[in-house]
Homo-oligomer: A and B are copies of this chain.
Amino acid sequence: MRNTGPEDDSYIGYMLSDVARLIRTIFDRRVRDIGLTRAQWLVLTRVYRRPGVSQTELAEMLEIDRASAGRMIDRMERNGWVERRPDRTDRRINRLHLTDEARKVHAAMWAIAESTVDDALSPLSATEREQYAELTAKVKGRLQNLAGAVP
């Protein structure tokens, strides 16, 4: 790492955020064709990965306010994509589940996600992809420690 001034476009810190931003932008553009906004597909993936998640847990996963998450769920419930079901034992909690319609949309979205990531990694060889995944996993693990600890 030779030059690490704020002017160097190849600074790894910039490149990491650029890669994530570009993937997100390209994915947003492709997924808009099936009628999804970014906020909506974020909710969709989280509830898909964790059915029965509570509203507060969803808000934490998305790093947004509980109130904002509640209003988002209002809208997606009105659109028939997500259901609130009462918790068996705790009457304060709403458990969230995708509708059949939403699961179909998720399948289409996932196909787009995979092809977008494949496109992004296309300049890497199979070996390089493995390396890239390993290095990224190491960095992610370190960041999770940092995020978990008190700043």
Contacts and interface: CB of A to CB of B under 8 A. Distances in A.
A18 B146 CA distance: 13
Interface in A18-38: 18-26, 29-30
Copies in the complex: 2
A12 interface: yes
B15 A136 contact: yes
Contact of A6 (B110, B119, B151): B110
A132 B135 CA distance: 7
Contacts of A147: 22, 25-26
A117 interface: yes
Interface stretch (A67-75, A87-95, A122-130): A122-130
Which secondary structure characterizes the binding site on chain A? helix
Interface residues of A, number: 56
A135 B137 contact: no
Nearest to A144: B22
B16 A106 contact: no
Interface centre among A19, A131, A144 (most CB of B within 10 A): A19
A39 interface: no
Interface string A136-151: 1111111110110001
A12 B139 contact: no
A117 to B, nearest CB: 4
Interface in A94-118: 106, 110, 113-114, 116-117
